[in-house]
Amino acid sequence: MTDPHANALLQPWDGALGAPPFDKVRDEDFLPAFETAMAWHRDEIAAIAGEGGPATFDIVIAALERSGAPLARVRRLFWTLSSAQGTPGIRAIEGQVSAMLSAHGTAISHDAALAARVAAVHDARHDAGLTAEQIRLVESSHAGFRRGGAELAPAQKARFAAIDARLSALAVQFGHNVLAATVDWVLDLGPNDLAGLPAGLCDAAAGRAAAKGRAGRYHVTLDRTDYESFLTFSARRDLREALWRAFTDRCDGGAHDNWPVIAEMLALRQERATLLGYADHAHYALEDSMAHDPAAAADLLAQLWEPGKRRAAEEAAELQALIDAGGDSFALAPWDWRFYAEQVRRDRYALDGGALAEHLRLDAVRQAAFDSAARLYGLTFTRRTDIAGYHPDVSAWEVGDATGALVGLLFTDYLARPEKHGGAWMGSLRVQEAMDGDVRPVVYLVANFAAAPPPDTAATRLSIDEARTLFHEFGHALHGLLSRVTYPSQSGTAVARDFVEFPSKFMENWIVSRDVLSSFGVPDALIDAIRNAGSYGQGFATVELISCALVDLAMHRSHGAAADPRGFVAAELERLGMPTEIGLRHRFPYFTHIFDGGYASAYYSYAWSEALDADAFEAFLATGDIFDSALAARFRDEILAAGDSRDPMDSFRAFLGRTPDASALMRARHLVDA
């Protein structure tokens, strides 16, 4: 066994503000660190399971919460680097690490003596003098063991373990395929191919080409930020189509084909759900969500789908008329929609996306997010140049409150790099908890914004959608930073999947507000244009999002989708009447949310959380001040601070005094009359 004193990954983090020892991380240390940390955790579990005394909250549940701390540190550090700074050494062991963690977790869930002690605490929970927070933790722990297969017969447990191990391996394979297919392709352009493109995109594309020894050329990648910007502004229809096809054809056949991976994952998810007594994977996945049942999720999506399609049809007709008026004879296609919609915004609403991006410099938008948190919650953000990240692009920020007390540590990593997974996300390296003292959180934000060369956050320009993304992920970070719970498994973003996107969607409202936009020099005319254009394009946006959610839900409710997932998706889209001019936001062969993330059956969560967000933000608008201090304090205390210490519906009721009004989402998406 590895000498713990020789492996830096096994040591407590003693960096400033609890920062991990990024400078001491060696790829080759991870596997022995995992082996040792798992052995330590197994010893702790054996002691809890074998305790001879009565099964009480402190002896069983609290002890479980304290157990595995070194393993948690190694695990969080590994997956942070795997997603944001994946070296060849880390990529090579991802599958092995995933298998080790899956087997370790399953063994704990299947420990009969431990499960019995958890069940005993659960049976006596209402007579043990526990707080509401403790009762919820007991119930969550008990449900976790049950959902992990603790109540299965021995042969079923063995099959369950095999399924979980295989699903973990397939998820890693799926993600590797997507990453490989994304980085393997580039659109190589010359100076005559840049018509319509904004300066920021050209600068970033030139920098990428120069870095590959192609000075004077321009490289556009399959990162979503490049993709959406190019389709919005490029006047070259042939190049828009080439990029669209390359983006949407990823992993749909060829060397990185993900359809066989999807088929096997669907079959295994269904088998696991059946083993546990659920009708299908969707019922299994949604049991502990706010929706609780797939029918409730489907009902919300159905309320949006037909109005969204009607509005999209109106928009499509208008865009086709614009094409025809320009003397062209082609039919509107998916690679045309963003380009002509941008013309409508520019001509009708005077919203020039390229001009707006000149004001939306990355550093300014990041500072605007910090300033918004300062006005809402009294937070301060101080750059700590003495705290190193895992890459030179990473910045460290000490977060304090209005009294000067430490809130936590935030790392930001915003610029695109080939070794990153695509998209944007927030994660926790250390969660807030207060079991044995006040532990402050360490969280990080990652995005893939196309950098101005050399990597320069002050010069990097963002689109309004990218600025929303920055604020969205910052909302997740605030959820982690402002958590105030006792137990680590209830901390911050460890909430129901259809609640976790609520604080992040909510934060997006501030980036399009007059107060915030004017703070970094956006002219009044452009701010007015953004506000006036807010209702435009909601048909497209609704159809693009809701179609993915509907097919995801249907796929995981079906017992036959695994036989031919490609055919199932095509048939389901035909049944729904999916407009051919609008593509899925995420085609399933690269839909990492569903097959390399936690959103299987739950992509609807974005719409559900958006309904909560729309209702909550209407309350702020009603005060006449979106920075209303009393309402902000209540949101902080009842939503952000509460974590999973109570049912999320109870948290929402505590904030607004009632259950959510789903019609607020129809108003926010301007679909009331559609």
Tell me the C-alpha distance between 378 and 374, whole Å: 4
Burial of 131: CB neighbours in 10 Å, binned 0-12, 13-18, 19+? exposed
Tell me the C-alpha distance between 44 and 72, whole Å: 14
Tell me the C-alpha distance between 155 and 168, whole Å: 20
Write the CB contacts of 178 (distance below 8 Å, at least 6 apart in sequence).
Answer: 250, 251, 256, 258, 421, 422, 590, 592, 596
Q: What is the CA radius of gyration of the chain?
A: 25
Asked if 456 contacts 519 with a C-beta cutoff of 8 angstroms, the reply is no
Write the CB contacts of 493 (distance below 8 Å, at least 6 apart in sequence).
Answer: 426, 428, 476, 479, 480, 500, 643
In angstroms, how far is CA 306 from the centroid of its own chain? 27
Pairing of strands 442-449, 406-415: parallel
Q: Does the N-terminal peptide bond of residue 648 adopt cis geometry, omega within 30 degrees of 0?
A: no
Alpha helix segments (H runs only) across 124-223: 132-147, 154-183, 199-211
Active site residue 473: yes
Asked if 172 contacts 166 with a C-beta cutoff of 8 angstroms, the reply is no
DSSP-derived 3-state class of residue 125: helix
Write the CB contacts of 516 (distance below 8 Å, at least 6 apart in sequence).
Answer: 368, 371, 372, 510
Tell me the C-alpha distance between 243 and 336, whole Å: 12
The identity of residue 30, as a single letter, is F
Whole-angstrom CA distances from 665 to 308, 471, 500, 508, 510 are 12, 19, 17, 14, 17
Q: Across the chain, which distance is largest between two alpha carbons, in Å?
A: 84
The identity of residue 194, as a single letter, is L
By C-alpha distance, which of 38, 22, 29 is closest to 6?
Answer: 29
Long-range contacts of 278-284 (CB under 8 A, 24+ apart): 280/556, 280/557, 280/558, 280/559, 281/556, 281/557, 281/600, 281/601, 282/553, 282/556, 282/557, 282/601, 283/557, 284/147
Beta strands of 416-546 (E only): which ranges? 425-430, 442-449
Burial of 2: CB neighbours in 10 Å, binned 0-12, 13-18, 19+? middle
Options 473, 501, 581, 610, the catalytic residue: 473
Residues with catalytic annotation? 473
